[in-house]
Copies of this chain bind each other. A is one copy, B any other.
Amino acid sequence: MLAARHFSIGEMCDEFSVTARALRFYEDEQLISPERRGTQRLYSERDRARLAWILRGKRVGFSLADIREMLDLYDVGDHRETQRLVTLERCRNRIATLERQREDIDTTIAELTDFITLIDASPKE
């Protein structure tokens, strides 16, 4: 096996363009939980994947609480029947709101595009 690589908080900040404060905040909010070597944080590949999820979630407008819930969905190894149904339900809800968002985005893009052609086609002579 390859020795699992780890990353310092500084490296994470550079790579993902976030502040250390933000990373620590996400940890407080239980979105990521890096290991420690003594007192220092060591981020694994898994932590990086989670962070990517977090940032993507933020870009599409989810709150940290929302994102935490979604990450948790992936985590519960415990897929008892009822729990499983709840998870499915929530996933589907998420998807539904995402699809609505996409419609909104398309509408907005269309309007802005129309507007561009409008003012682009009427230059002052």
A73 on the B face (CB < 8 A): yes
Interface residues on A, range: 35 or more
A44 on the B face (CB < 8 A): no
The secondary structure that dominates the A interface is helix
Query: Shortest CB–CB separation between residue A84 and chain B, in angstroms?
Result: 6
Among candidates B59, B88, B99, B123, residue contacting A100 with C-beta atoms closer than 8 Å? B59
Query: Shortest CB–CB separation between residue A92 and chain B, in angstroms?
Result: 7
A20 on the B face (CB < 8 A): no
What are 29 of the A-B contact pairs (CB < 8 Å)? A56-B104, A57-B108, A59-B61, A59-B100, A59-B101, A60-B108, A61-B101, A70-B112, A73-B115, A74-B115, A79-B122, A79-B124, A81-B123, A84-B119, A84-B123, A84-B124, A88-B116, A94-B108, A94-B112, A95-B109, A98-B108, A98-B109, A98-B112, A99-B109, A101-B105, A102-B102, A102-B105, A102-B106, A105-B105
Interface residues of A (CB under 8 A from B): 56-57, 59-61, 70, 73-74, 79-81, 84, 87-88, 91-92, 94-95, 98-102, 104-109, 112-113, 115-116, 119-120, 122-124
